Amino acid sequence: MKQGGGKSRVTHNKKEYTFEIKEEISLPAKTLNVEDYVVKLKEFDSVYHNEELIIHGQLIESVIYQLEGGTKEAKVEKPNFKYFLPLSEQSSQLEYKLNLDIEQIQYKFKSTAYQKQTLVSNIKLKLIITVFPPLNSLDSLASNIYKNLETKKLILNKFLAEKETNLLIKQKLKLAANIERIFECKANLKKVKVEKIEEEVMITGQIIYQVLALNNQGQVKHYEIIEPFRETTYFKKTNPGAQLLAQNQISDLEFVKLEDTLEVMLVVNAVLTAYQEVEMSIYTNSTGQRGEQIKVKQEINNLHEEWMLTDELILDISYKELIEMKGQVVNVEVELISNKIIVSGELSYELYYIDLHGQEKNKNFNLNFNKLLKCQGTREGLEFKYQLKVKELQPELKQGRLILKTFLKLVGNLREEVLTKVVTEQNGIISQSVLDSFLVERVLKVDKLELLLPYELYLGRYAKQVQDIDIKIINPEGKLLTGSLLYSCQLKSIINFIDYNDIEQEITKIENINELLPTEINIKEANLDISPQIKYIDYELSNAGEKLLLKVVLKCPYKILERVRLPILTKKVSVAD
């Protein structure tokens, strides 16, 4: 293993270095070509020694190659690496945070004399060192780090407990009768759900198997097999109202082919985290250097409302006596508009009565309802968390008519997502404080994009004049890839126009949009929060009037977030509070 030299760029309190690692992997003599080559950073650490910061770690290299005859095989190497960075003794006393990522991979397949086949690669890594000045430093900047602390009431997910366990899953996969040999079997977990029943946790989902196999006609083909799974484990240290988060990863997979069956044994590493939503006073530090920027929720307003609904129905029943009536709210929808909340849904009733023959019977029916509630601060895009229930029923039967009074009770709070910088250290500075552990979404990047999307729509009629165009964004989705961002959505266009017979026409067209955009963030577990809006629409009708040339500009503010467990400084709750 060889290392290249490094270069640095200083940005405020961050320093960036790049260094290169050269690798060679020996392949069998009958190798024809390399199909795929993937490098991942498994782990790294650092140590200070003799005025040098030594970065050491391990890579995982996976290469898939093709042999003569069409056979595909895989090889995995786990090389270690070291990088030596000069660092003064004074600098070594500072607090720092390291981030190391693979920036670029280049490789080529070499075939040399004596039938020696080799894959030669050049791997470039980027090291980012974030340096913090010491709190006890006399430097004016360091002494003012916590000068502008504030406390805010924020809604966060408080960490309660964590358990890591390995689940052993054995499955038998049915294979096609013409499969002779299995080269490779990979698996991914999809649609995983976690449910806690007392001390037992049930994990369910799907396993998507990708099988590379040779059939009896000499063809190498890919097969996809989907199998459900259900496993249980135990988790005692949780509160009754706690929620569970599960991070599941396949850590090992073994398989063997038996006639027309593939027996698979895989190990799933499951990390279960219990948390509870709480509202607490948090120390924030928007102007200081220390701390972490996270996405949190902040309560804007709360709502307590009770109202009565009166209905009168004619029932097609013969009755002697009313025994009981039950009601519940179902299919509720909430719409937020300026300073108002529209609540709509159904009331599901169950009526128990004695008929004319003395027998107990019941009748079910539903009624729709709508209610406009005033709530200051309400606007589109906020979150409204609520509970709506039937508080009381007052039914009365009179000569085949049911006079029904239903009393509803709604308790809710209006929330807004905000980005704030929270304090993650105590260091004895604040006496009325304590460090608590929370599950948060740490902000890696905040940015915005503007996308120009030109496309053509065929009208199916010859238009003389376009009256109106309404375009809506549906099914927006963003996904982080290696060094890029994939944004996809559908643009639903409703077009009103006058045709050459002076008849008004309306058509609806849907256009699929996929845009690949570069980004510096290269963290596989990061999440993308994107909120696209239509900024501008321009159009031009073709001379013949058979098609419309559209130009749509999308404004796309986005955040890249990483879910982490973080210590956050909170205000102690006193008796007076």
Q: Which tens digit of pLDDT belongs to each residue from 170-201? A: 999 988 888 888 899 999 999 899 888 878 88
pTM: 0.62
What is the C-alpha to C-alpha distance for residues 163 and 272, in angstroms, rounded to an integer?
5
**Which one-letter amino acid corresponds to residue 118?**
T
Q: What is the mean pLDDT of residues 524-530?
A: 80
The domains of the chain are located at 2-132, 160-276, 298-416, 441-564
Rounded Cα distance between 280 and 158, Å, is 10
pLDDT over 70, % of the chain: 88
Q: How confident is the model over 378-407, as pLDDT tens digits? A: 988 889 999 999 999 998 887 778 889 999
- The sign of the torsion formed by the CA atoms of 470, 476, 481, 483 equals positive
pLDDT of residue 240: 72
What's the DSSP call for residue 79?
Answer: -
Q: What is the pLDDT of residue 8?
A: 39
Q: In this predicted model, what pLDDT tens digit does every residue of 134-148 receive, in sequence order?
A: 444 433 443 455 556
The average confidence (pLDDT) of the chain is 84
Token pair in block for residue 481: 């890839």
Q: Is the pLDDT of residue 525 over 80?
A: no
Residue 427, pLDDT score: 62
* pLDDT given for residue 328 in this prediction: 94
Q: What is the pLDDT of residue 317?
A: 78
**Tens digits of residue pLDDT in 263-313:** 999 999 998 899 999 998 898 887 766 688 999 999 999 999 999 999 988
CB within 8 A of 576, min separation 6: which ones?
none
Read off the pLDDT of each residue in 120-133 and give the average, rounded to a whole number: 82
Q: Can you give the pLDDT at residue 91?
A: 57
Instruction: Provide the pLDDT for residue 332.
Output: 94
Length of the chain: 577
Instruction: For residue 428, name the pLDDT band (cuts at 50, 70, 90).
Output: low
Query: Residue 410: its pLDDT value, please?
Result: 95
| Strand partners for 493 | 471, 509
pLDDT at res. 307: 94
Give the C-alpha separation, 393 to 265, whole Å. 56
574 against 333, higher pLDDT: 333
Encoded tokens for 323: 């025994």
Euclidean distance between CA atoms 293 and 295, whole angstroms: 7
Q: Which helix (H) or strand (E) holds 425?
A: none
Cα–Cα dist 336/351, whole Å: 34
User: CA 575 → CA 154, 254, 533, 569, 572, distances in Å?
Assistant: 20, 58, 47, 19, 10
pLDDT of residue 243 exceeding 70: yes
Amino acid of residue 102: I
pLDDT of residue 374: 92
The answer, yes or no, to whether residue 119 has pLDDT greater than 50, is yes
pLDDT tier, 2 (very low <50, low <70, confident <90, very high otherwise): very low
pLDDT single digits (tens) 328-341: 999 999 999 999 99
Instruction: Tell whether the model's pLDDT for residue 206 goes beyond 90.
Output: yes
Q: What are phi and psi of 89, to 5 degrees?
A: -65, -35
Q: Mean of the pLDDT values across residues 517-544? A: 83
- Residue 179 is predicted with a pLDDT of 87
Highest mean pLDDT out of 91-100, 425-434, 546-555: 546-555
Instruction: Tokens 């309400």: give the residue.
Output: 378
Terminal alpha carbon distance of the chain: 62
Q: How confident is the model at residue 16 (pLDDT cuts 50, 70, 90)?
A: confident
Q: According to the model, what pLDDT value does residue 289 have?
A: 64
Segment 438-463 shows an average pLDDT of 87
- pLDDT tens figures, 533-569: 899 899 888 888 888 899 999 998 888 898 888 999 8
What residue type is 225 in one-letter code?
Answer: I
Better pLDDT: 65 or 240 = 65
pLDDT value for 447: 87
